[in-house]
Amino acid sequence: MDNIILEMRSITKTFPGVKALDNVSFKVREGEIHALVGENGAGKSTLMKVLSGVYPAGTYEGEIHYDGELRQFSTISDSEHIGIIIIHQELALVPLLSIAENIFLGNEIATNGVINWKETFARTQELLKKVGLNEAPPTLITDIGVGKQQLVEIAKALSKKVRLLILDEPTASLNETDSDALLKLLMEFRKQGMTSIIISHKLNEIKKVADKITILRDGGTVETLDCHHEDISEDRIIKGMVGRDMEDRYPPREPKIGETLLEVKNWNVFHQQHRDRQFLHDINFNVRAGEVVGIAGLMGAGRTETAMSIFGRSWGHKITGDVSIRGKQVDVSTIPKAIDAGLAYVTEDRKHLGLVLIDNILHNTTLSNLEAVSSAGVINDHEERKVASDYRQKLRIRSHSIYQETVNLSGGNQQKVVLSKWLFTNPEVLILDEPTRGIDVGAKYEIYTIINQLAAEGKGILMISSEMPELLGTCDRIYVMNEGRIVAELSKAEASQESIMRAIMRSGEKH
């Protein structure tokens, strides 16, 4: 059992402007289940992409040794060829093809391009038995649940003679029964000598199955814990995940908090696609004038969905609950009504949902409030240019003019254009969804400064962020969400990375 199957040595991977992995080393023994944990953006997925050849050799520094040999993968099929199979969080199955077709996709059992269906079905049957899935091979993927789809992915991995199986958040979208079944399967595979790496946020599950736990933080390896030597508590893992010094990355602010601006009560929402599944449960929260309120939570906790469902029902269906602004109940059933009520939503996906990228700064700035620069449906050009120029200067949007197309701006400047657009609607409450995602440190500081200014002007800010230090550095109060519920409300004094993580983990165990 002392056989090291995989060793990654001093891996460094740089993206333009960001060091995603910094000198990461990682060792996996044959036949163990090795868990990889860390916050969002700690570098877990990047490390696995380096391993599987998504980022080919040469685009990173460091060495990968597998089976005692130095390996350089230039494509995913290189790594798959020697038995390293990765199953991504978003399943890579074709919904309208059958289980059998999906398992052998790109790897068909065929002679001269003619598929041998008999053999295909027989082999599929065999593989499905191994993963304990009781479905007929011709069943379409779309007709089986997410849990079973996950098993099909694993069967597909088995068909490729897997030796090292990597699962990225395999249980994120599974219910408890399906999760348990999956974990049992992994333990079964361990008995047969297969090695797995599992990336997960669910620490209770990791405790159940893992032999070793490697913690990543900010692109570096923190430590590797051996679960057989000592009893590792969840608090111990959390400490490793978040234990870092807070630097002075946030502009100071004196909060002057006034009356309640936004109040959301008993907000219940069903899933947009899976229409009989309730996604948000009894959400209650409020934002006061001059206050910056954060919503913390892991990916998929329902933060963006909460914001979008409130903002003109732009997500979900069967939405019930009350929204009031300054104590008065308001109608937010359509986006124009939500804007009129005084809400603004700055999306997390500025490229797809925030900007008309082929259009310029000028037109993007006034898009949500064209009435203010027009009369009787005719736009006053000079008025419009003045507005756009003012915001360009006020928010310091770096561009050669207001006529520059937004597609050519940097992420931070694009975000400022989106902010301009919403500031021009003169909202009472701004909902900022991941306002600093994908932008560099300097621009982040500028965004924080803008947030502070808005709060000083008496606006209410609701900020959704996956970066906990950012929430702790900017917010006066933080709600913690998990699995579609608000599970804690922490004052500035109570809030810390540990307390947030604990709230998430504890609530996760209850279900």
Partner 1 sequence: MVTETKTTQSVGDYLRANIREYGLLVALVVIMVFFQVVTGGVLFRPVNITNLILQNSFIVIMALGMLLIIVAGHIDLSVGSIVAFTGGLSAIMLVKWGIHYSIVVPVCLVLGGLVGAAQGYWVAYQKIPAFIVTLAGMLVFRGLTYLILQNRPIGPFPKDFQSLSTGFIPDFLYFLNPAPGVITNFAALAVVVVLVALAFYYGLKNRKENEKHGTENEPFGFFIAQMGIIAVVAIFLGFQLSTYKGFPNVLVVMALLIALYTFITTRSTVGRRIYAMGGNEKAAKLSGINTERLTFYTFVNMGVLAALAGMIIAARLNSATPKAGVGFELDVIAACFIGGASASGGVGKITGAVIGAFIMGVMNNGMSIMGLGIDYQQLVKGLVLLAAVFFDVYNKNKG
Which parts of this chain interact with partner 1 (CB under 8 A)?
311-312, 314, 334-336, 338-339, 345, 347, 352-359, 363, 367-368, 370-371, 374, 377-379, 381-382, 385-386, 389, 392-393, 396-403, 421, 425
**In the bound complex, what is the minimum distance in angstroms from residue 355's beta carbon to partner 1?**
6
Closer to partner 1 by Cβ: residue 289 or 432: 432
**In the bound complex, what is the minimum distance in angstroms from residue 162's beta carbon to partner 1?**
39
**In the bound complex, what is the minimum distance in angstroms from residue 347's beta carbon to partner 1?**
6
Closer to partner 1 by Cβ: residue 244 or 386: 386
CB distance 391 to 365 below 8 Å: yes
Closer to partner 1 by Cβ: residue 326 or 386: 386
Query: Phi and psi (nearest 5°) for 372?
Result: -70, -20
CB distance 223 to 240 below 8 Å: yes
Closer to partner 1 by Cβ: residue 129 or 398: 398
Structure tokens belonging to residue 134: 């009781």
| Contacts for 166 with CB less than 8 Å, ≥ 6 apart | 48, 51, 52, 84, 85, 86, 87, 196, 197, 198, 199
Question: Quick one: which of 176, 173, 202, 181 has its CA closest to 506?
Answer: 202
**In the bound complex, what is the minimum distance in angstroms from residue 471's beta carbon to partner 1?**
24
**In the bound complex, what is the minimum distance in angstroms from residue 371's beta carbon to partner 1?**
7
Structure tokens belonging to residue 244: 């870092």
**In the bound complex, what is the minimum distance in angstroms from residue 266's beta carbon to partner 1?**
25
Closer to partner 1 by Cβ: residue 178 or 348: 348
Helix axes 234-242, 497-510, angle to 10 degrees: 140
What whole-number distance in Å separates Cα of residue 197 and Cα of residue 135? 27
Closer to partner 1 by Cβ: residue 114 or 378: 378
Closer to partner 1 by Cβ: residue 159 or 399: 399
Residue 268 CB-density burial (10 A; 0-12 exposed, 13-18 middle, 19+ buried): middle
Closer to partner 1 by Cβ: residue 267 or 391: 391
Structure tokens belonging to residue 455: 């709060």
427: region left, alpha or beta (phi > 0 left; psi from -120 to 50 alpha): beta
**In the bound complex, what is the minimum distance in angstroms from residue 374's beta carbon to partner 1?**
5
Closer to partner 1 by Cβ: residue 383 or 498: 383
| Contacts for 16 with CB less than 8 Å, ≥ 6 apart | none
Closer to partner 1 by Cβ: residue 339 or 429: 339
Pairing outcome for strands 33-37 and 195-199? parallel
**In the bound complex, what is the minimum distance in angstroms from residue 440's beta carbon to partner 1?**
16
**In the bound complex, what is the minimum distance in angstroms from residue 296's beta carbon to partner 1?**
24
CB distance 431 to 311 below 8 Å: yes
What whole-number distance in Å separates Cα of residue 471 and Cα of residue 462? 11
**In the bound complex, what is the minimum distance in angstroms from residue 22's beta carbon to partner 1?**
32
Question: Quick one: which of 205, 148, 271 has its CA closest to 511?
Answer: 205
Q: Around 356, how many Cα atoms within 13 Å sit in the side-chain half-sphere?
A: 12
Structure tokens belonging to residue 497: 């990375």
